[in-house]
Chains A and B, each alone.
Chain A
Amino acid sequence: MGTMAQQIDKKKQDTLDARLVRKPISTSSPSAAANEESPLPTGAEAVAATPKMSTRKLNVFYDDKQALINVDLDIRKNKVTALIGPSGCGKSTFLRCLNRMNDTIEGCRVTGKVTLDGQDIYEKSLDVVELRAEIGMVFQKPNPFPKSIYENVAYGPRIHGLAKNRAELDEIVMTSLERAGLLKEVQDRLQEPGTSLSGGQQQRLCIARAIAVSPEVILMDEPCSSLDPIATARIEELMDELRRKYTIVIVTHAMQQAARVSQYTAFFHLGEVVEVGDTATIFTSPKDERTQGYITGRFG
């Protein structure tokens, strides 16, 4: 056991968790909290029922082509929500709306409302960099930085100014690696390049990297597509653990994966959400014929 690892005791983990309680993302608009047209419940139920994120009348266009049509979807806190659907149905486009990655795509136009804890993330004055720390993303092909394992995880906290000194930075790195289920395997070689790891380890490194900046939501775009079944199973077990602290949204081509890991599943088709519900119901008795058709393999 490395000496660094031994220093991570519960007290320090709690300190790290304190960072999870963020102040709202900076915005100059005073009415950011107002949600007049939202059908979300109010009053006493609100605390329990308010989704972590939600979209209302979300439409996305790539130049003239409409990729998402009036999508209303709630993402519940501390749950895994899976987005399934055939190729081109808009699920990855939807995922990218949640942390404004679509802003980087030329010709992409987003209308409608996307909220995080009730706050509109498309507010013009919102700090998008900070948003993307709060809503992290893991991609299909693991993409560790060409840096050491330690530096991969430390990079984010460093540029966001989350650590006052080297000791705190070490804490963040070690805790993130531990939460990503990677610490034991790499604690003796933190200075080795991130790219020296296996595919599954690299993906967990990317998850650690996302966790290091204290996100509230983790978006995963087909995170296991390039991994073998054992590495996939390890990531799925990790998701089960992670959702205690984070909210997770996963896009997956593998329906069985959605069935295994998620509590809620949304079925997308031709840019619309056809059906959304709890995973057990969607996969045992879906309400919509199109959902049934897709999951039974009766149409592509």
Chain B
Amino acid sequence: MVSEHIVKSYDDELNRLNRTIVEMGGLAESQLAAAIRAFSEQDNELAANIVEEDEKVNELNFDVDQFAVQLLALRSPMAEDLRSIIGALKISSDLERIADYAANVAKRVIVMDEYPSAKLAAGIPRMAALVQPMIKDILDAYVARDPEKAMEVWNRDIEVDDIYMSLFREFLTYMMEDPRNITPCTHLLFMAKNIERIGDHVTNIAETIYFLVHGKRMREHRPTINEGNSVVTPLTSRSKLER
């Protein structure tokens, strides 16, 4: 489908940019997986490692920024090359935030050590189990430059938001039941929020992939979360993705 540039070094450079994004994505994925493992097993050492490892992702983000600027200056990229480089800049930024959120979850794990709250925690791994494959799949969509796959992943975020909302209500009830639950539940709530934000960043990446390939915006109305404003979320508040 796509032929090579006449100047081979140009292709080499674009491939290098791609590879760095993929590397960042892999790290973000494994950081989240490790954070959830640390949570389930209350493994403080693992959690501390995760916080340190976040620096690697930050470094890669900086590399992408620098290299993208250099490519823009030296190659005067056009059309899909230009969108590709701009896309890499944006995706790198989203991946960096995803890794940050994973590290934030790990930080909370360390704090949670004081609260043996197994009963309260079941929803967190369940949310993560939805989000982790989203990260993997969106990276696959990026490598394949597949906007359909990207949109499919985009749609899965709706379920993540749903779980977040129900966890929100669940934690509220625990807090109302017993004031001693307030501190641990607040931490858990932040963790849930972090994971929910990871899902949002994945949808950002999906939108960037769409733009990268088609050169125009994914036309959609992103459903928003009604945190605690109503008991039932009316179905009409969600719009279907336009194809």
Interface residues of A (CB under 8 A from B): 230, 233-234, 236-237, 240, 256, 259-260, 279-280, 283-284
Contact = CB atoms under 8 A, between A and B. Distances in A.
15 contacts: A234-B6, A236-B6, A236-B7, A237-B7, A240-B7, A240-B9, A256-B76, A259-B74, A259-B75, A259-B76, A260-B10, A260-B74, A280-B73, A284-B70, A284-B73
A260 B7 contact: yes
A237 B4 CA distance: 12
Interface in B72-92: 73-76
Nearest to B67: A280
Interface string B87-113: 000000000000000000000000000
A256 B5 CA distance: 16
A230 B76 CA distance: 15
Given A237-B7, A260-B74, A279-B74, 17 more contacts: A233-B5, A233-B6, A234-B6, A236-B6, A240-B7, A240-B8, A240-B9, A256-B76, A259-B73, A259-B74, A259-B76, A260-B75, A260-B76, A280-B73, A280-B74, A284-B70, A284-B73
Nearest to B7: A237
B61 to A, nearest CB: 18
Contacts of B74: 259-260, 279-280, 283
A283 B10 CA distance: 17
Interface string B49-78: 000000000000000000001100111100
A241 B76 CA distance: 21
Interface in B1-25: 5-10
Contacts of A260: 7, 10, 74-76
Contacts of B70: 280, 284
A284 B69 contact: yes
Nearest to A295: B73
Contacts of A280: 70, 73-74
Contacts of A230: 6
Contact of A283 (B5, B6, B8, B73): B73
Instruction: List 4 A-B pairs, minimum CB-CB distance, nearest first.
Output: A233-B6, A283-B73, A259-B74, A237-B7
B107 to A, nearest CB: 36
Contacts of B8: 237, 240
Contacts of B69: 284
A283 B74 CA distance: 7
A236 B76 CA distance: 14
A233 B75 CA distance: 12
A260 B10 CA distance: 9
B75 to A, nearest CB: 6
Nearest to B8: A237
A230 B7 CA distance: 10
Nearest to A240: B9
Contacts of A236: 6-7
A240 B69 CA distance: 21
Contacts of A284: 69-70, 73
Contacts of B73: 259, 280, 283-284
A259 B70 CA distance: 10
A198 to B, nearest CB: 15
Contacts of B6: 230, 233-234, 236-237
A234 B8 CA distance: 10
Nearest to B5: A233
Nearest to B73: A283
Contact of B7 (A233, A259, A279): A233
B65 to A, nearest CB: 12
B243 to A, nearest CB: 37
A256 B73 CA distance: 8
Contacts of B5: 233
